[in-house]
Amino acid sequence: MSFGDPNNPYGQPPQGQQPGYGYPQAPQQGYGYPAAPGAPYGAYPGAPYGAPGMMVMPGTVKAARVLVWIIAIIQILGGIAVAALAGTYANEAGLDSASSNAVTGVVVGLAVFAIALGIWGIVIAAKTANGGNGIRVSAIVYGSLVTLGGVANLAQGQNASVVALVLGIL
């Protein structure tokens, strides 16, 4: 009984192994595979002197993380300022009491929404160091909402929203 193809230019596979194309049959540890037991998260095998090496966050991810911090802090500060000034805006517009209260409620609601988006951005920026698919998807959705807000403000003629638009795209 013959084992393998006799016309195979690479010869017979070693006994006890299935024929393959030179690739390992078992998954290798490294990117995409869990770390060895006892190794810290993100460690990769083969670090010099037997010490577990840590995977370094790429520069583009570091830059995106800094931009998310900046956007989130600006959103929180802006939301607090808008909420604080909501009542004075409605009073200066010369509206009656019921309309003034309604406008104040809408403005405060939008300010709370901006603060919530800012807190979401801080959570994303804080968890970016650990990585993960959920954080990546959440950051993409967050950037999309910031970009959408920048486009909406730009459509209303607010030229200062170009900064938010560019930061959201980045």
Residue 33 in any domain: the answer is no
Residue 38 in any domain: the answer is no
Residue 147 in any domain: the answer is yes
Residue 75 in any domain: the answer is yes
- Which residue in this structure is represented by tokens 């809408």? 106
Residue 52 in any domain: the answer is no
pLDDT tens across 81-104, in order?
988 888 777 667 666 777 777 888
Cβ 72 vs Cβ 119: under 8 Å:
yes
Residue 143 in any domain: the answer is yes
DSSP codes of every residue in 72-89: HHHHHHHHHHHHHHHHHH
Q: How far apart, in whole angstroms, are the C-alpha atoms of residue 139 and residue 66?
A: 12
The domain tally of the chain equals: 1
Residue 86 in any domain: the answer is yes
pLDDT tens across 100-126, in order?
778 888 888 989 998 999 999 999 999
Q: Find the domain containing 136 and state its range.
A: 59-169
Closest to 139 in 3D by CA, of 149, 152, 154, 126 = 126
pLDDT tens across 20-37, in order?
555 555 555 545 555 555
Strands (E), 52-132: 53-54
Cβ 43 vs Cβ 140: under 8 Å:
no
pLDDT tens across 119-164, in order?
999 999 998 888 788 888 998 898 888 888 888 878 887 776 777 7
Cβ 86 vs Cβ 102: under 8 Å:
no
Closest to 167 in 3D by CA, of 57, 80, 64, 59 = 64
Residue 9 in any domain: the answer is no
pLDDT tens across 48-76, in order?
555 555 677 788 888 888 888 988 998 89
Amino acid at 168: G
The two tokens of residue 43 are 């460690």
Distant-in-sequence, close-in-space partners of 169: CB < 8 Å, separation ≥ 6:
143, 147
Closest to 125 in 3D by CA, of 76, 52, 53, 55 = 76
